[in-house]
Homo-oligomer: A and B are copies of this chain.
Amino acid sequence: MIVSYDELKKLFMTILLQHGMKKEDASLLARIISDNTLDGVSSHGINRFERIVSNIDSGVIDISSSLEKTGSAGCMEIWNGHFGPGPVNAYRVMERAVDLAHEHGIGLAAISHNNHWLRGATYGLFAADAGCIGICWSNTKPNMLAWGAKESSIGNNPFVISVPQKDGAHFVFDSAMSQYSYGQLQAHRLRGEQTPFPCGFDDEGALTCDPGTVERNGRLLPMGYWKGSGLSVALDLVANVLACGLTVSDVGKMGDERGLTQVMIAIDPLKLNDSSTVESYVDRILSDLKASVSIDGRPLRYPGERLFKTRTDNRENGISVNDEIYSGVLNLLG
């Protein structure tokens, strides 16, 4: 069915308040989940809402906790999320990074003991809306093969780089370190399809495109083989030598995937260059990319281009949501 953005946000807000969330937190979380749905990323929007509410009820998400600053030096701050609502904490920490960037040129705010941030692009887009380059990442539970390993021992640690572009059509690269996410594996399996490129290893150690095999044996392939494996470890290292939180391996011992460590970096290019210069560089690099000769006639797109179009369309025409999932959300209303 088709729902409007405002309708959706109001619905989420009402339910979150009924489940005891503080008003400011509920308002921000409802907005983030609505924005993700608006952007066409329901998997990290409305489709997760029931689970979030159940995590609030069970205490996995501690809605009574408050974000706490535990350290700072120059343009860096360290925060502890105390297992509060992940996207709310992540957003506020990126706000701090942006404020620090507006002051110092760069700002870094890292957070330990946070819950899942839902979708990394949320924080990259926030930085870009504030005129900043955003670089951010989160660790995860062990869910991916280290290169040469037999079982999952590293995280697919999503990594984001955003660059502001005029009119809000920001560049945003948002990528897990695995070639495919488990969500994508499930989607392929439900459609009865193989993945277009290998998604993991089968039980004999050969590359496979069969999503069901990898969902079962957990041998999820890093993007670029050894490259995604190395980058995944780098991200966990940097996050934890700064925030001193739970490592990927520690998170694996938590039962639920909680207590994550996340890093938000904002860089303000307008401290160095005027906005027309910055815009002209972004325009030029993205135009050059789009002018590349296509292999199959389909136009080349830059990361973030499609989501901007989806958002604009959905804002005008309403958002298409899965009937069953929408009913599930409605049923949460007290």
Contacts and interface: CB of A to CB of B under 8 A. Distances in A.
Contacts of A201: 295
Dominant SS at the A interface?
A: mixed
Contacts of A205: 295-296
Contacts of A26: none
A292 B247 contact: no
Interface residues of A, number: 75
Nearest to A207: B197
A74 B302 CA distance: 31
Contacts of A233: 171, 173, 285-286, 289, 302-303
A295 B267 CA distance: 41
B281 A244 contact: yes
Contacts of A209: none
Nearest to A105: B74
A272 B78 contact: yes
Q: What is the oligomeric copy number?
A: 2
B175 A277 contact: no
B148 A240 contact: no
A88 interface: no
Contacts of A147: 300
Interface of A: 71-76, 78, 103-106, 108, 133, 146-151, 153-154, 161, 163, 171, 173, 175, 179, 197, 201, 205, 223-225, 227-228, 230-231, 233-238, 240-242, 244, 247-249, 267, 269, 271-273, 277-278, 281-282, 284-286, 288-289, 291-296, 298, 300-303
24 contacts: A73-B105, A73-B271, A74-B271, A75-B104, A78-B272, A106-B106, A106-B108, A146-B300, A148-B298, A149-B300, A150-B292, A150-B294, A153-B293, A161-B231, A161-B234, A171-B234, A223-B223, A223-B225, A234-B303, A241-B269, A247-B281, A247-B284, A248-B285, A249-B288
